Amino acid sequence: MAFAFNAGHATIVAMPVPSNTTTITAAFIIIGNEILSGRTEDANLTPVAQGLGRVGVRLAEVRVVADDVTAIAETVNQCRTVHDYVFTSGGIGPTHDDVTATAVARAFGVPVTRHPEAMRQLVLCYGEDQLNEARLSMADMPEGADLIENPVSQAPGFRMDNVFSMAGVPRIMVAMLAGVLPSLIGGAIVLSRSLSAEFPESELAAGLARIQGRYPEIEIGSYPYFRQGCFGTSIVLRGTDVDVLDVAVEKVRAAMTKLGADPMKVAEEE
């Protein structure tokens, strides 16, 4: 499905593209003083990264910013001109420290208005008697925003062009993301393979660099680990062409075996 979004200043109508050739990137902006102070551990980055990956959108950059209108607006503007999509989490609740709508409105140079459909949903959820001004303020959104459905607690998120603002509470964020993902126009899906063996990564480094040089389209990562008293290395290979990927995997497997790694321990995951 196609939709119009505004990348920078020009409005572009994005059309479906062949999914095996194009690179589509996203930035994720995590909004919240509680993350920056170390009080709360972020739990949204991984589901966003994995969810986007499944629809062919590559998470290229993450920012964590404070509950500060200027900081959020600047970060949104930096990211939305560089990436195809921007996602934010946090700051869409009913209290004074929820400033995401104001910040995104400022980024787009539009006023904040009360969204009629969001208000209708809040009335439906809370009933007239429970709907205080704070709750109603969750319908305040940048002018022109579309709603992002919230199947958990009703207060919706919103989309402005290529910027999607979601809740910070992980359970709600994941539910909103699930609703958004089918509407994205993804590019090539990145496939991933992993090989592990119990020896230090430095022993494999030279061979690995040669394989990386030969297959520049494959992203090869080396990750040391220490588990159950053993040092080991996981090699992760990522790429969009399954044939090239499989050839590179076999090269890495051969390099590991040649170094004396127990072939039984050369496990291929996923």
In whole angstroms, how close is the CB of 13 to its own copies at the nearest point?
28
- Taking CB under 8 A as the criterion, the residue among 134, 230, 259, 267 binding its own copies is 134
What is the rounded CA–CA span in Å between residue 170 and residue 177? 10
* CA nearest to 176, candidates 186, 165, 187, 185: 165
Positive or negative torsion for Cα 257, 254, 239, 202: positive
In whole angstroms, how close is the CB of 161 to its own copies at the nearest point?
23
Q: What are phi and psi of 5, to 5 degrees?
A: -140, 165
Task: List the structure tokens of 73.
Answer: 């607006």
Binding of its own copies at residue 246 (CB under 8 A)? Answer: no
Binding of its own copies at residue 35 (CB under 8 A)? Answer: yes
Binding of its own copies at residue 197 (CB under 8 A)? Answer: no
In whole angstroms, how close is the CB of 220 to its own copies at the nearest point?
7
- Taking CB under 8 A as the criterion, the residue among 169, 174, 181, 189 binding its own copies is 169
Contact 161, 203 (CB under 8 A): no
Task: List the structure tokens of 117.
Answer: 């459909």
Task: List the structure tokens of 176.
Answer: 């909103």
For its own copies, the binding residues in 37-66 under the rule CB under 8 A are 37-42, 45-50, 53, 58-66
* DSSP letter, residue 137: G
- Taking CB under 8 A as the criterion, the residue among 73, 92, 93, 196 binding its own copies is 93
269: three-class secondary structure by DSSP = strand
In whole angstroms, how close is the CB of 26 to its own copies at the nearest point?
10
Kindly list the residues in this chain that would bind its own copies in the complex (CB under 8 A).
30, 33-42, 45-50, 53, 58-67, 71, 93-97, 132-135, 137, 169, 171, 190, 192, 201-206, 208-209, 212, 219-224, 226, 236, 238
